[in-house]
Amino acid sequence: MSVQRATFTRPLIALAMVAVSTYCALAQRAPVPTRVRGTIESVSGDTMQVKSRSGEDVKLRIAADVNVSGITKISLADIKPGSFIGATTVPGPDGGQNAVEVHVFPESMRGTGEGSRPWDLKPNSSMTNATVAESVVGNDGHTLLVKYKDGEKKVFVADTTPVVTFVPSDKSELKPGAKVIAFMKQLPDGSFETSRVSVGRDGLTPPM
């Protein structure tokens, strides 16, 4: 190899090594969370401090147009054919889907997030928002056939599974001690902002 060719090649190799190192660093970086579940510790102006269920302190900017919903308990019997629900499920021992929680959407929220996708509540959990086509009552719960635009699932809901629904609320419920699930995004400066918060009523912890 000539001296001229070697002089030209070495910077390219160094540049390639830097690019590979940068790519690996980005690939290993932890994903940015999109939800925080926990208890509000303080609210000051448009800033909310949340202690997450896993113990982290998370500071959130409250968006000016934040949407706040209350969450309250209802009965498993309130889930009927035609209800539009969200169900967090995990695989059951028989290959079926067992509900960890079910939330019934009010009619004004029908169609919200329709479909099925991975969820971060528990390992291997998924979230399915769909319409109940059938509800079969068993000895220890209900088996629901739910249908959404891309498919269907059978979901077993035990008698002990938390069942909740959404009720109107506002920013006045964002206060210390409230149990919340806040959906958030990272801003360009690295801070976090929430534009949608669900608040448990009467000390309820949002189960989703």
Mean pLDDT of the chain: 87
> pLDDT for 105-156, tens place per residue?
999 999 999 999 999 999 999 999 999 999 999 888 999 999 999 899 999 9
**Residues 78-93: tens digit of each pLDDT:** 999 999 999 999 999 8
Confidence label for 96 from pLDDT (cuts 50, 70 and 90): confident
Overall average pLDDT of the 47-63 stretch: 96
Q: Which amino acid is at 5?
A: R
Q: Which pLDDT value is given to residue 4?
A: 47
In the chain, where are the structural domains located? 1-30, 35-71+166-203, 75-162
Structure tokens at 195: 């534009």
Say how many CA atoms lie within 13 Å of 59 toward its Cβ.
Answer: 7
Angle at 87 between CA 94 and CA 154, to 5 degrees: 40
Phi, psi of 33 (to 5 degrees): -65, 150
* Domain 35-71+166-203 CATH superfamily: Copper binding periplasmic protein CusF (2.40.50.320)
Whole-model pTM: value is 0.79
Taking the CB of residue 129, how many other CB atoms lie within 10 A of it? 21
